[in-house]
Amino acid sequence: LANTHPFIRELWGRYWVCAHNGQLTGFRAPEGFYEPVGSTDSEALFCDMLNHLRSHCHRDDSLEQMVEQLVILSSQYASQGVFNLLLSNGDWLFTYCTTKMASITRRAPFGPARLKDTDVTIDFEAETTPNDVVSVIVTEPLTTDEKWDIYQPGEWRLWRQGEVVMRGGAD
C-alpha cells in the first residue's frame, strides 16, 4: 500500500491527492514537512510539491498564484523525465502532460460510447442526470466513437466542476 496511487496528504485543512504516470529517474526530494512513506518517485515528487507550496504560497493566495507555482514546479519535474500529473485539492484538478494525456467532457444529452479495448458499449444516459458534466482524463482515449482532446507535451490545464477553467503551455 505504501507505493500505491493515489497519494494523499493534508495541506491547509484540505486533502490533496496526486497520481503520476512517468519516471523521474533518480529523483530525490529534499527533506521537508512532507516525507514519502514508500519508495516511488511519484510520492517523492508529490511530497516535494506540497513542501514547495507550503513554503512559497499561502492558503489565501489566488488560484492564479497557486497555478503559477504548480506550472513552474511541473516544468522543472518534466525536465527530469516523464511527468504526467493529476493533482487535486478537492476543489480543483491540475493536470500536466509531458508525453500522453487525453480528456473528454460529456454533457446532456448523453449517449452511448464503445470501449476501445473490449466489445462493450456504455449508455451514459442511464448513469447520469441532465445537469451532469462528466470529464475523464486518461493516458490514452478509452472509447472509439467519441472525439477526445489530446494534450500536447508541456500542456497543463486546471479543471473545476468538470470544466477547464485555465490552460497553458505547449504554445
Rounded CA-CA distance 2/84 in Å is: 20
Rounded CA-CA distance 40/33 in Å is: 18
pLDDT digits (tens, 9 = 90+) for 82-100: 999 999 999 999 999 999 9
Q: Tell me, what's the pLDDT at 139?
A: 94
**To the nearest 5 percent, what fractions of the chain are helix, strand and coil?**
20, 30, 45
pLDDT digits (tens, 9 = 90+) for 127-167: 899 999 999 999 999 999 899 999 999 999 999 999 999 99
pLDDT digits (tens, 9 = 90+) for 97-123: 999 999 999 998 888 999 999 999 988
Helix spans in the chain (H): 41-56, 63-78
pLDDT-based confidence at residue 171 (cuts at 50, 70, 90):
low
Q: What average pLDDT does range 35-60 have in this prediction?
A: 94
Query: If you average pLDDT over every residue of the chain, what do you get?
Result: 93
Q: What average pLDDT does range 26-37 have in this prediction?
A: 89
Residue 67 cell numbers, joined? 497555478
Residues 6 or more apart from 145 whose CB is under 8 A from it? 113, 114
In the predicted model, is pLDDT for residue 170 greater than 80? no
Quick one: fold of 7-99+151-168?
Glutamine Phosphoribosylpyrophosphate, subunit 1, domain 1 (3.60.20)
**pTM of the predicted model as reported, rounded to 2 decimal places:** 0.93
Q: Tell me, what's the pLDDT at 85?
A: 96
Rounded CA-CA distance 65/37 in Å is: 29
Query: Interior CA angle at 167 toward 145 and 63, to 5°?
Result: 130
Domain parsing of the chain, residue ranges: 7-99+151-168, 102-138
Rounded CA-CA distance 56/87 in Å is: 17
Q: Tell me, what's the pLDDT at 93?
A: 97
Rounded CA-CA distance 32/106 in Å is: 40
Residue 147 Cα to chain centre, angstroms: 20
pLDDT-based confidence at residue 26 (cuts at 50, 70, 90):
confident
Rounded CA-CA distance 52/166 in Å is: 21
